[in-house]
Amino acid sequence: MAKAKKKQRSGATKYTRPPAAVKATPPTPPSPTSGAKAPPTPTPGVAERSRLRREELRARRRQQGRNRLLATLGIVVVLVAVVGGLLWYREYQESLKPGIRFPDQGNRHLSEGETFDGYNSTPPTSGPHYNRLANWGIHDQPIPNELQVHNLEDGGVLIQYNGIPQEVIDKLKDVAGRYDSHVILAPYPDMEHKIALTAWTRLLALGEFDEQRIVQFIETYRGIDHHKGGQG
């Protein structure tokens, strides 16, 4: 009996556990854009096109306005530079002329015998004066300020002196005598200069006789009329 039982075990079929079930991966849904055509761009309507044109027109006008502003500013800058340059050049040219320049005090007429004490130079170079002229040429007596200024306005040059030797006076007479008009030689006792030449708004003071500078002053300013504002 024991042998028969053992034989029966050796012939028994071996049990094999079935494999575990594999979970299936769910399929990936297709992308909404994969393989699909892009929707067509909507064509703007009439109202939209009109709005776009208006915006473009406004932008163009703004740009044109900026361009005009820049052009105007450029013109202004150029004009300022030109005017400034011309004024500078004029002042520079004036600075090269002989004598010191004094501010113009106008040409108001005074009543005969009236005096004026506000001249800005000694001798005077502009300002109120009588409505008559001193004679051109050589004088032995001083000429009143209010009279000689009118000669300056008419384009005259005055040579005046104080405290110089007779020989120097004679040299001044020689220079003044070369001109038949618009030059006056006269003493001026109330000034600190030895010799003073005056024209309208100009004064050249000299400590000694200098024929070259005297002639240059006369030739620069003699004959230039300075009447203005209807005054004589």
* Domain identity same for 121 and 50: no
Structural domain span for residue 128: 101-221
Residue 182 in this model has a pLDDT that exceeds 70: yes
How many independent structural domains does the chain possess? 2
Token pair of 230 as six digits: 């209807």
- Residues linked to residue 185 through DSSP beta bridges, in sequence order: 138, 159
Residue 97 in this model has a pLDDT that exceeds 70: yes
Residue 149's nearest CA partner among 135, 128, 176, 121 is 128
SS3 137: strand
Domain boundary among 75, 96, 117: 96
* pLDDT tens by residue, 43-74: 667 888 888 888 888 998 999 998 988 899 88
Residue 78: what pLDDT?
Answer: 87
Does 37 reside within a domain?
no
* Domain identity same for 191 and 207: yes
More confident call, 179 vs 7: 179
* Domain identity same for 163 and 181: yes
The sheet with strand 137-138 has its strands ordered as 100-101, 202-206, 195-199, 157-161, 183-187, 137-138
Does 20 reside within a domain?
no
* Domain identity same for 62 and 163: no
Q: Quickly tell me which residue has 């108001």 as its tokens.
A: 108
Least confident of 18-27, 97-106, 124-133, 161-170: 18-27
More confident call, 228 vs 152: 152
Residue 2: what pLDDT?
Answer: 47
Domain boundary among 79, 96, 113: 96
Does 123 reside within a domain?
yes
Please compute the mean of the pLDDT values over residues 204-231 and round it to a whole number: 92
More confident call, 101 vs 13: 101
Q: How many CA atoms lie within 13 A of 133 on its CB side?
A: 16
* Domain identity same for 54 and 108: no
Q: Quickly tell me which residue has 């200098």 as its tokens.
A: 210
* Domain identity same for 157 and 90: no
